[in-house]
Structure 1
Amino acid sequence: MSVQVRPLGDKDFFPWLGLFEGYSEFYKSDLTDEKALRVWSWIIDKNHDLDGAVAVDDNGDFVGFTLYRAVPRTLSGDVGLFVDDLFVAPNARDAGTGRALMDFAKEYAKAHNYRSLQWVTAADNKTAQKLYDEVGTRTSWVTYEAEV
């Protein structure tokens, strides 16, 4: 199976939604219609920071997606690209889809003169970490979060 990665477009909502449902299920996050529509509105709003791309297989089926946004990096005085989400459908894993999505994000960053590409994944997501260890460098930073 080969995949082509391209930016998400206005007419991609329903095929993307199927993947976003799988992504939400993978991370055991409840997905409501309201949440899905809000995220989609961010993706297609050219004035919003969030952007995304989709991996499409030979049959035209959506088999993966990534969502990313520009982030200022104060200590280096430049801008980087942060990959918020990356998901590959189970039937398209181990076929280079995740790598193709990461390569797309890297090329997007280069095209926009962003100086770095960063992302996080769950500590127990060993499958993703195998790819991420190949395409990037594991950092020593510890991530925290707090509800507000």
Structure 2
Amino acid sequence: MTHEIRPAGDDDFFAWLPLFDGYCRFYEHELDDQKALTVWTWLRDATHPLEAILAFDEEGEAIALAHFRGVPDTLNATTAVFLDDLYVVPEHRRNGVARALIETVHSRAAELGTGGVSWVTSAANEDAQALYDSLARRTEWVTYEMDA
């Protein structure tokens, strides 16, 4: 199966929205209009670090997204990339789309700095971890969160 991967453009809101909604639902978060517009505004703002790429199938249907951003890597005095969100519609999983999105993000990281990419995933997301383990090194870092 072939697919095209490209940066999200100004006219891609209605292609991006159902993908972002699917991502939010996968992680049991509600997507309301305000949240969708806020994130889309970040993605379209050239001064905001968040970027998006989309994958399209042969018919031009949007089937996957990745959100990522350049972040300072103080230990190496360069810029790395953090992959915030990765989502592939269920019927297109296991056909190389997620791998291609991650590799595209990795290429973007090389443009910004050293080419390093990091991300986190749910401990319960074992299907994704199988792919991630084939692409990257699992770290020993522990993640903490403070509520607002």
- Would the TM-score normalized by the shorter structure come out above 0.5? yes
Indicate how the Cα distance of structure 1 residues 120 and 37 shifts in structure 2: closer, same or farther if over 3 A, else same: same
Contact 1:80 1:115 (C-alpha < 8 Å) held by counterparts: yes
Q: CA deviation at 1:114?
A: 3.7
Query: 1:20 maps to which residue?
Result: 20
Query: 1:107 maps to which residue?
Result: 107
Query: 1:70 maps to which residue?
Result: 70
Query: 2:46 maps to which residue?
Result: 46
Contact 1:78 1:115 (C-alpha < 8 Å) held by counterparts: no
Secondary structure, aligned partner of 1:81: strand
Letter in 1 for 2:101: L
State how far apart, in whole Å, the 2-side matches of 1:6 and 1:142 are. 32
How many residue pairs get aligned? The number is 148
**Unmatched tracts of structure 2, length 5 or more:** none
Give the CA RMSD over aligned residues.
Answer: 0.9
Query: 2:89 maps to which residue?
Result: 89
Contact 2:49 2:69 (C-alpha < 8 Å) held by counterparts: yes
Secondary structure, aligned partner of 2:31: coil
State how far apart, in whole Å, the 2-side matches of 1:43 and 1:18 are. 15
Letter in 2 for 1:2: T
State how far apart, in whole Å, the 1-side matches of 2:111 and 2:75 are. 22
Q: After the TM superposition, which of the residue ranges 105-114 and 30-39 deviates more from structure 2?
A: 105-114
Q: CA deviation at 1:2?
A: 1.1
Letter in 2 for 1:102: I
Q: CA deviation at 1:24?
A: 0.8
**Unmatched tracts of structure 1, length 5 or more:** none
Q: CA deviation at 1:113?
A: 2.7
Letter in 1 for 2:143: T
Secondary structure, aligned partner of 1:65: strand
State how far apart, in whole Å, the 2-side matches of 1:5 and 1:112 are. 19
